[in-house]
Amino acid sequence: MSLETNANRPEEREIEELLRTYFATEIPKRLPPLPPPGSRSPAGASARPRRRLTAAEWIAYSALAATVALVLAAHFTNAPSRLVPVGASIAAGSAPEALPFDDDADSCENDGLLASVELRDLEYSVFERRDPIRTSRFVTDEGEFEQRTLVRWKVYSIYEPRTGERVQWSTPMVSVTVLPFTATAVPANR
């Protein structure tokens, strides 16, 4: 910084006056009213571009898309093409409950997915819900079989405390079990 005094240089008092006047217009004392909840702020809302996805959202949407693609691929590659679906009238009652559903067959825990998410400053939780089991029966040369399809949804929730944003997504996991079906094993009243 030069030690010379410049007569043209704005003086301290002038700078202060400039700043007060400048800030009075830039930051007016009267604020625009707060918009109602659920709406966007009016200032520049129309001109504002769409918000870009955060890294967590990108990962979440990518994981969801990949999971859906895998489920669809698994569904079409494992379809029992040789089996002939039988109508519900073939066997009355539900499937033999004595046969345990192989709940552990699907051990997809998505550990790989969570490991790839930046979780240092994030709070996250995972919980699971299940759809009702859907059953279908088939008649083959080797007898009747029942196919049980269970769709489990893992719901992931990530909360970023700095922005107060919560990102939630769910991934479906499909378990398909085929069991031999014997109508005699079903109680008559069922």
Partner 1 sequence: MRGSMAEIASDLPERRRIEALYELHGREITARLYADCCDRELAQEAAQEAFLKLQGRIDAVREPIAWLIRAGRNWIRDQFRSRRRFADAPMDGDAIIDEVDGPLETVMASETRKQIAMALRQMSVEDRQALVMRFALDWPSARIAAALGTTASAVDMRISRAKSRLAGLLETMGVEGNVA
Residues in touch with partner 1 (CB under 8 A)? 1, 6-12, 14-27, 29, 31-32, 34-35, 37, 39-45, 47-49, 51-52, 54, 162-165
Non-local (6+) Cβ contacts of 144 within 8 A are 86, 90, 91, 137, 138, 180, 181, 182, 183
Closest to partner 1 by CB, 112 or 164: 164
- In the complex, the smallest distance separating the C-beta of residue 25 from partner 1, rounded to whole angstroms, is 6
The Cα-based distances of 58 to 55, 84, 117, 130, 189 in angstroms read 5, 42, 10, 25, 52
Closest to partner 1 by CB, 103 or 123: 123
- In the complex, the smallest distance separating the C-beta of residue 28 from partner 1, rounded to whole angstroms, is 8
Closest to partner 1 by CB, 52 or 120: 52
Closest to partner 1 by CB, 3 or 84: 3
CA 40 to chain centre: 24
DSSP, collapsed to helix, strand or coil, labels residue 77 as helix
Closest to partner 1 by CB, 21 or 94: 21
Measured from the Cβ of residue 162, the count of other Cβ atoms closer than 10 Å reads 7
> What would the two tokens of residue 6 be?
């410049």
Instruction: For residue 86, report the phi and psi dihedrals to the nearest 5 degrees.
Output: -115, 145
- In the complex, the smallest distance separating the C-beta of residue 126 from partner 1, rounded to whole angstroms, is 21
- In the complex, the smallest distance separating the C-beta of residue 101 from partner 1, rounded to whole angstroms, is 39
Q: How many CA atoms lie within 13 A of 142 on its CB side?
A: 7
- In the complex, the smallest distance separating the C-beta of residue 125 from partner 1, rounded to whole angstroms, is 16
